[in-house]
Amino acid sequence: MSDPQIDAHGRLRHLLTLDGLGRPRLTALLDRAAALREAARAGHLPALLAGRTVVNLFFEPSTRTRTSFELAARRLGALVVNFDIASSSTSKGETLEDTLATLEAMDSDAFVVRHKENGTPARLAAHARRAAVLNAGDGNRAHPTQGLLDLLTIRDHKGRIDGLTVTICGDVKHSRVARSDVHGLAALGAGDIRLCGPSALLPAATEFPGCAVGDDFDAAIAGADVVIMLRMQKERMETLPGLDEADYFARYGLDRARLARARPEAIVMHPGPMNRGIEIAPEVADGAQSVILAQVANGIFARMAVLAELLQH
């Protein structure tokens, strides 16, 4: 079966998932993001997207992803429309496909889509006639640009992905970030990927072949190069697991004592939004090993790279 995000010439047509993109394409996107960052720092960002129109279609809340897609597109010269779902005709029963076709008829070149239902960006991509669709997070399935910015941040700080030990802790079961991170880390050769959390918030081990899955954070963090903390995604849970926040922090929170079990030069990451005092202690979130704000900054360049790759032809 053909890959819906690759066109007949082998070019990236949409960005729906990191799954199956492969090392050369991922590396090229990271290199392009780093080059755009250098250009921005030198004050020479090229207007690669001049004349293009990018539409943000966010059906779920967002701070980081929506803002950084907008800044990325604007700084490369595109016109950006932040589609207001609440006041749109979707509330009168218009289908998402008809909404997309309507906006595409207005010469929109790209749609950045976030939705609570798995597969919505792929569904819209199948319907798009000319425009590119970029997945900004669908359900618990994929958040590919978060995966890219996480890979870029790890590569910046560790110089490589190959052979690293990466611990991802928290609500892995409901996390699209964990899935995209694992797809990217595995493709780029991370040596030991450990998924950890309370058993009620862990995925089936069969979903993550090659990863260690367990509920003992002290064991999972031992010797890690990279520690990625996740929040509990209550909005995606059918029933709350009945975890007391203080108990959760005691077993799965990242404080200084627990971080000391990782390698001394380990970096701490979090995709945000953070729940301080639940999955991460403030002194760790703001501490010397935290690269959380570097992740945010890299989000702009990862998104620039993807937009340029999809629209510059």
User: 3-state class of 74 per DSSP?
Assistant: helix
Count other C-beta atoms under 10 Å from residue 2's C-beta. Answer: 7
CB nearer ligand CP, residue 188 or residue 302 = 302
Tokens matching residue 54: 């990018």
- Name the helix (H) or strand (E) containing 214: strand 212-214
Task: Check residue 3 and report its DSSP letter.
Answer: -
Q: CB of 260: closest distance to ligand CP in angstroms?
A: 27
Instruction: Provide the H-helix boundaries in 188-253.
Output: 217-221, 245-252
CB nearer ligand CP, residue 48 or residue 154 = 154
CB nearer ligand CP, residue 48 or residue 185 = 185
Dihedral sign computed on CA atoms, order 257, 181, 41, 292? negative
Q: CB of 242: closest distance to ligand CP in angstroms?
A: 25
| Packed helices 23-41 and 292-311: angle between N→C axes, nearest 10 degrees | 110
CB nearer ligand CP, residue 48 or residue 230 = 230
Q: CB of 160: closest distance to ligand CP in angstroms?
A: 24
Classify the phi-psi angles of 251: left when phi > 0, otherwise alpha if psi is within -120 to 50, otherwise beta: alpha
CA distance 246 to 118: 31
Q: CB of 137: closest distance to ligand CP in angstroms?
A: 6
CA angle 282, 259, 176 (to 5 degrees): 75
CB nearer ligand CP, residue 13 or residue 143 = 143
CB nearer ligand CP, residue 198 or residue 299 = 299
Q: CB of 136: closest distance to ligand CP in angstroms?
A: 7
Q: CB of 113: closest distance to ligand CP in angstroms?
A: 13
Closest CA relative to residue 37, chosen from 153, 200, 137: 153
Burial 186-197 (b: 16+ CB within 10 A, else e): bbbebebbbbbb
CB nearer ligand CP, residue 137 or residue 198 = 137
Q: Which residues bind ligand CP (CB under 6 A)?
A: 62-65, 137, 143, 146, 271-273
CA distance 59 to 135: 12
Q: CB of 176: closest distance to ligand CP in angstroms?
A: 8
CB nearer ligand CP, residue 64 or residue 251 = 64
CA distance 290 to 266: 9
Closest CA relative to residue 126, chosen from 85, 83, 96: 96
CA distance 180 to 193: 13
Q: CB of 62: closest distance to ligand CP in angstroms?
A: 3
Q: CB of 30: closest distance to ligand CP in angstroms?
A: 18
CB nearer ligand CP, residue 214 or residue 275 = 275
